Structure 1
Amino acid sequence: MALGNYGVLVGTLESHHRDTPDDQGRWFHVYLQVTAPAGRYRCAVDVDSKQSATGVQWRVLTLDRAQLPALHDLFAGYHPLATTPTSGALDYLRHPALRTRAGCISSLVFRPVQTSLGRLSGVRAWRTGSNLEAATALESILTIGARIAIFGEPFTAGLGMHNIHQNQGDPLGSQWYAENGTWQDGGTVVYLPDGRYCLFLSKFTTQSFDTNDDGHPG
């Protein structure tokens, strides 16, 4: 059935903070306060699953404007997106600017990749680490006052966004299996002063890097 209302919020980053730590000292989300014409949106980026047996993985990468062309002309506000390759939607496994080898997972890897524009650009591979490291990686790209785009799903009540992570590949038997789908992945995109974009993408270790046309593990 996939997500019910996928889209992207474009606005200005006003502030960000972590969840209050629990008695193990863990943070579960980084919350971004994003202002847009409708008001202030609370965007919850998962950096831990709240299950000790399920970890988080993430990537940080920089892309040229031409690699995410739909973002350039979007005005501030929330925009629903069709879950198709041509709408501007994200798919970690299918988007030509985002996909990477399933085995490209490391504590820290940086490798050059030939872009569609013919230049070499650095692409950080998927990293597996602690929730504290994931939160720090996200915070490292955030600049207060910067233009930002949040891909995911709006809250059903109030202004906000969630599902700002991979939304496919959850295994059979998972409570999120029914929400699997292609071209509906979440992500945080910061507009850079030079016209490029810096992205933070995240997934849970239980989510597959190989999915079928329905977004289920292949």
Structure 2
Amino acid sequence: MPLDSYGVLSGTLHRSFRDQPDTQGHWFHVNLEVDAPAGRYRCAVDVDGKQSTTGVQWKVFTLAASVLDPVPSLPPGYHELSMTSGSGALDYLRHPGLQHRPGCVFIVRPPAWLQDLLNRLNPPRPWISGSNLDAAEALEPILVPGREVMVFGEPFDNGLGMHNIHQNQGDPYGSQWWDENGTWQDGATLTRRPDGQYDVFLNKFSTQADVTGPDGHPV
């Protein structure tokens, strides 16, 4: 079954900070404090695959607000989203704005000269692998205090906060997260630039598949 609850928190970034080594436990997070009408939320962005230097993968890129409709027009606060296309929910593998090369589909491989031109006009977005510190350093430049922020994921059961801010599908059979696999429920961290576009940070774990079925399980 998918996550129990899924949505987006819209607010203003107060500050960000990393877990301390003596408090992080098995996982390492970059924490965001986000101000919204209900109060100050803590959003825990998981950037470490358990005790692994290469277990986490990420992408950082920029998107126009229109690609993310209807979410950018929502008022500040937490909003539950339907786990379906068109609701504003995110899916790393299905959302047209988040795919490896949005908008470019070929039946046959294009010639080298055309591929080079496409790479210049619309650069590929490969996953980057590294340590928890590498991932934190990639995320932190977009975490500018005072920026509007949108955080996709699952709300805390108690208190104001968000977790599961990462890909939430493709976990392998037998893992403790298999039952939480689902489509249109991926987490992400986005902050609004002065020009109105959004800086986007996507993160996943190396054990998660890049191709999934309608139930979010690997295929």
The answer to whether TM tops 0.5 is yes
Structure-1 residue corresponding to 2:150 = 149
Give CA deviations for 1:42-65 in whole Å, capped at 9, x if unaligned.
Answer: 000011022338700000010112
Contact 2:52 2:131 (C-alpha < 8 Å) held by counterparts: no
Give CA deviations for 1:46-86 in whole Å, capped at 9, x if unaligned.
Answer: 11022338700000010112211212211000000000001
Shift of 1:193: 1.2
Larger Rg: 2
Structure-2 residue corresponding to 1:4 = 4
One-letter code aligned to 1:59: K
For residues 48-197 of structure 1, the aligned pairs below 5 Å read 48-52=48-52, 55-100=55-100, 120-122=121-123, 124-197=125-198
Distance 2:57 2:117 in 1: 20
Distance 1:8 1:132 in 2: 26
Quick one: structure 1 residues 139 and 131, their matched pair in 2 at CA, closer, same or farther if it must change by over 3 Å?
same
Structure-2 residue corresponding to 1:13 = 13
Shift of 1:122: 4.6
RMSD: 2.2
Tell me, which stretches of 5 or more residues in structure 1 are unaligned?
102-110
Structure with a larger share of its residues in helix: 2
SS at match of 1:72: helix
Equivalenced residues, count? 203
TM-score (norm 2): 0.87
Percent identity of the aligned residues? 62
Distance 1:99 1:124 in 2: 8
Contact 1:61 1:122 (C-alpha < 8 Å) held by counterparts: no
Quick one: structure 1 residues 215 and 144, their matched pair in 2 at CA, closer, same or farther if it must change by over 3 Å?
same
Shift of 1:195: 1.2
Shift of 1:163: 0.2
